[in-house]
Chain A
Amino acid sequence: MESLDSEDDRARFSTVVLPHLGDAYALARWLTGDRADAEDVVQEACLRAFRGIGGFAGTNARAWLLTIVRHAAYTWLGKNRSASLLLVEDLEAVERQQASGASAFGQDAQTPEAGLIAKADAQRLESAIAELPVPFRETLVLRDVQGLDYREIAEVTKVPIGTVMSRLARARRRLIERVATDEAKGGS
């Protein structure tokens, strides 16, 4: 009986997890910033996914796998780059203060020409995204790179939809400012 179950798990792993390996790897790479590290994270995540495959009852395999990948990446970051994670709560406190001071989206927010943003090339975009603090970065990547909807992002990042919205808005605002500044400074 045991062998039957594990046979079943293997088949499920192949149909549930493997089709989303590309997305899993992409998220891991955006979170760790490194291809080799991303592979390690994905391997670890797949191991966890395989062990937990019997418990996967949902319909959204991709969101389920990305949740595990994100968790594995956070574990990895905690071991190797704890500084980048410490920021999360502090960061949001600062953002809240700024928002209540009405400056986050207020009058002194930069209003660069959209045309300036249109000039950004892949490299500039990539480095600007990589500089985003992790909670903003993952929200933006899940939405604008991987195309998840808000509900799925809320599920993967374990925050309410309102938080998804504000993180996404702030991530995009930072990118806009960053990219426009770079373009204005560096030209093409």
Chain B
Amino acid sequence: MTPPTTDPRLLVHAYLDGELDPANALDVERQLADDPALAAERERIEVLRRVIAERLPRESAPPGLARRIEATLGLRPAAARTASHPSWRALAASVAVAAFIGSGATWLALSPGPTDADMVVANHMRALMAPQPVDVGSSDRHTVKPWFNGRIPEAPRVVDLASEGFPLVGGRVDVIGRTPVPTLVYRRRQHLISLSEAPASRMAAMPQGQIAGYNIVSWTDSGVTYWAVSDVAAADLSAFEKAFRAAASAER
């Protein structure tokens, strides 16, 4: 996005939200390096975003609301409609609580161990070094999705992006912190993209960035945080994000 303002105090928000194009993001990074007050503000904003994502309980519609609405509108009751990720969330929440207690509750205090981003990158690097980057290799999402059943509480959303230039390679289970998460692998020309997902209550999305030469984008959609990591160009990874989000929302 080309920002409608040049005020760095505003742009730092857009930067953290991943809304800036690479040139403008670079500009903000330069200003952050030169301006300690701005850097401190960036830190405050990041912490705020993080506590909101992690501490605020996610609101879901009261049970029965969908049915009442359908009844009002004269639609048939949708018996099959239930909360989308109950078991997955419950498990992840308990793991998150355990991790929180286990770490003496100091993990938010800005001198943490590896961040989620570090772990996502580490998983990707490990996969590239393994004989196979995936545990189930298939370009057919109807093969990949069921493979997760029984391995993790909730199979991930798997969409077909071959027509967008990102054919599916397969999937594997990664571990972030102590949480097993589903990871899908897509291909862009000769490069692989690892896409991990976890409940937003467990992992907050971070600004677009780079770790050890790998580009990372993350976003949150319907209570799930997605992390994509790859050595493709940042613009390609953004295109991947866009394609995935569009396909996922078209499916919903």
A169 with B65, Cβ < 8 A, contacts A29-B59, A161-B1 known? no
Q: Decide if B61 is an interface residue (CB 8 Å cutoff).
A: yes
- Which residues in B have their C-beta under 8 angstroms from that of A29? 59
Q: Complex: how many Å from CA A147 to CA B221?
A: 6
Interface presence of B19 (CB below 8 A): yes
Interface residues of B in 131-175 (CB under 8 A from A): none
In the assembled complex, the CB of B227 is this many whole angstroms from the nearest CB of chain A, namely 14
Q: Which residue of B lies closest to A179 (CB)?
A: B48
Alpha-carbon separation in the docked complex, A147 to B249 (Å): 14
Q: Are B17 and A150 in contact (CB-based, < 8 A)?
A: yes
Say which residue of A112, A125, A149 sits within 8 Å of B56 (CB atoms).
A125
Closest to A25 in B: B61
B55 and A114 form a contact (CB under 8 A): no
The answer to whether A23 touches B81, judged by C-beta atoms less than 8 angstroms apart, is: no
Q: Does A52 contact B (CB under 8 A)?
A: no
Q: Mark A111-126, 1 if CB is under 8 A from B, else 0.
A: 1101101101110011
Binds A, one of B66-74, B117-125, B181-189: B66-74
The chain B residue with its CB closest to the CB of A112 is B44
B220 close to A (CB within 8 Å): yes
- Quick one: which of A101-160 are within 8 Å of B by CB? 105, 111-112, 114-115, 117-118, 120-122, 125-126, 129, 143-145, 147, 149-151, 160
Contact present for B44 and A165 (CB under 8 Å): no
Contact B4 A160 (CB under 8 A): yes
Interface residues of A: mostly helix, strand, loop or mixed?
helix
Q: How far is the CA of A151 from the CA of B245 in the complex (A)?
A: 14
Q: B53 in the interface, Cβ–Cβ < 8 Å?
A: yes
Q: Which residue of A lies closest to B68 (CB)?
A: A43
B233 at the interface (CB under 8 A from A): no
Cβ B44 vs Cβ A169 within 8 A: no
User: How far apart sit A115 and B220, CA to CA, in the bound complex (Å)?
Assistant: 25
From B9, B47, B75, A105 is in contact (CB under 8 Å) with: B9
The residue on B at minimum CB distance from A113 is B44
Q: Distance in Å from the Cβ of B247 to the closest Cβ of chain A?
A: 10
Interface string of B37-65 (1 = CB under 8 A from A): 10011011111111111011111111001
Question: Are B3 and A165 in contact (CB-based, < 8 A)?
Answer: yes
Task: Type the 1/0 row for B180-211, where 1 means its CB is closer than 8 Å to any CB of A.
Answer: 00000000000000000000100001000000
Please report the C-alpha to C-alpha distance between residue A19 and residue B73 in the assembled complex, in whole angstroms: 16
Question: Which residues 57-108 of A sit at the B interface, judged by CB distance below 8 A?
Answer: 59-62, 105
Q: In the complex, which residue of chain B has the Cβ closest to the Cβ of A51?
A: B73
Residues of B within 8 A of A25 (CB): 59-62, 65
- Cα distance A118–B200 in the bound complex, in angstroms: 18
| B110 is an interface residue with CB less than 8 A from chain A | yes
Measured in the bound complex, the distance between the Cα atoms of B72 and A61 in whole Å is: 21
A sample of 20 cross-chain residue pairs with beta-carbon separation below 8 angstroms, ordered by A number, consists of: A18-B69, A19-B222, A20-B252, A21-B65, A21-B69, A25-B60, A25-B61, A42-B69, A43-B69, A47-B72, A62-B249, A114-B47, A120-B51, A122-B56, A125-B56, A149-B219, A161-B4, A165-B3, A168-B13, A169-B13
- Taking A22-B223, A143-B17 as known contacts, 17 extra A-B pairs with beta carbons closer than 8 A to each other, sorted by chain A number, are A14-B75, A18-B66, A20-B222, A22-B222, A26-B58, A42-B69, A114-B40, A129-B52, A145-B52, A147-B219, A149-B19, A149-B219, A150-B19, A165-B10, A168-B13, A169-B13, A176-B48
